Chains A and B, each alone.
Chain A
């Protein structure tokens, strides 16, 4: 008896089958924070966006009291009913959430170690409604809605803190470390300045493919066909080298470029503008 057909059979079974009537998967953007938490953005009752951590170690959707207030969520005995939108297109019209003072998040926010401000966690009572795929080699998660009503949870301890596992641990640690390290959180983001160049890369040579009219590059005198030799102090072989040289420049900052045109070297300075 040959084993081959049997093995083939098994590999077919291993492929996840789309069950009849299963809803379409939804791609949910996420960010891996500096503390290695999986963070998604949500809106609560249409307000936000707020930053929430996906946490199978939490029994429910939990938000800080401050966030609940900001979103105008009505809280009764700690629990609230609200509309939950997760970035990417997941919507729960009547999600149940806990509004409690989350010292764990406070600790992390005080230090800013996560790199973003955190407002809550999404736990079992929401997560269980979806089959969720995590893959850190991809920039989105995949949520497939299940036709499944998760059983109600039994809470232990009853102190309004359902035990948030590692999150709690880390938050605690942060609280102790913050004053020692003298770190201040910094969540501000500023837009990079605009240049107006389209580039082309051939055999370690980067040339200008197009220049947008009246753009900063245009004003600095860059022309189509110019070869970018240096960006800042760095020699350029890849388009990435130019992007890296500009990666921390804001509107109004200057980018030095050394170009070659018709065999001649030319130094140009571009004052970055507004736009993307």
Chain B
């Protein structure tokens, strides 16, 4: 009876992310191994083969696996290795039918097969204590989850969030080969709602924030009590360090929803609440 119960409990806690029931929005804990170098590794299975140790890297826009892993997991069997970029040596793009980290299962995860020299150096350095390291887990996997990284507990908490990560290679190639129409022109940043202010900042002005040059009568900013001469420091927690910053911060503030702003008036910091209007 005890065994059955334990098994059952484990099953409840570690519901596979691929399952279609309501349980799949439950958070799942994945332990990781903190390396003496400050990196951490997770144990993965690729196409049901493994386990393999990979570095978990939020700074990696792609997934990277060694040729050793690729061969072992049959990643390159069907389509023969198609070199993606030659400058760095043998590199191929493949799709892992399944990519599992503990109980989490991703399907059709794009990976790059490449013996990365840095990963190799790591692997060699730590092999005695940690075993071989076979690549990097990056954005295409973790972006699919709400993820918490806790170095103290040495665990990740992952909850599927429905986010569909775009393939970085595809989107960058697209960007490089096409989309030059707007090149050379500055990107235009606009507020998501109407505030009714004009902000200014001198080129020589290095202090935090921007100055409110004008508050339009009857505008949302006017109603919130913003005054000409106020120094706007943050907008919904975002720094308004420049005029461009201010527009970009206001680009996140949805109309009809109150957002906090911090201003400095006569040497004192104050918090106000502005509800941008639906308009422009």
Contacts and interface: CB of A to CB of B under 8 A. Distances in A.
Contacts of A173: 85, 87-88
A35 B189 contact: no
B37 A153 contact: yes
A101 interface: no
B30 interface: no
A53 B87 CA distance: 25
Nearest to B124: A156
A240 to B, nearest CB: 10
B187 A188 contact: yes
B199 interface: yes
A97 interface: no
B143 A136 contact: yes
Interface residues of A, number: 102
Interface of B: 1, 5, 8-9, 12-13, 26-27, 34, 36-40, 55-62, 64, 85, 87-88, 114, 116, 118-119, 121-122, 125, 136, 138-139, 142-143, 146-152, 157, 161-163, 165-166, 168, 171-172, 175-176, 183-191, 194-199, 214, 216-219, 237-239, 241, 243-248, 250, 252, 277-280
Which 6 A-B residue pairings sit nearest by Cβ, starting from the closest?
Answer: A166-B60, A55-B59, A192-B190, A57-B57, A124-B38, A188-B186
Given A55-B58, A190-B188, A276-B199, 11 more contacts: A10-B12, A10-B13, A56-B59, A123-B38, A124-B38, A134-B58, A146-B150, A156-B121, A163-B122, A173-B85, A196-B194
Interface of A: 1, 3, 6-7, 10-11, 14, 16, 27, 29, 34-38, 41, 48-49, 53-60, 87-89, 113, 121, 123-125, 127-129, 131-137, 139-140, 146, 148, 150-151, 153-157, 162-170, 172-173, 176-177, 181, 183-184, 186, 188-192, 194-201, 209-210, 212-215, 239, 242-243, 246-250, 274-276
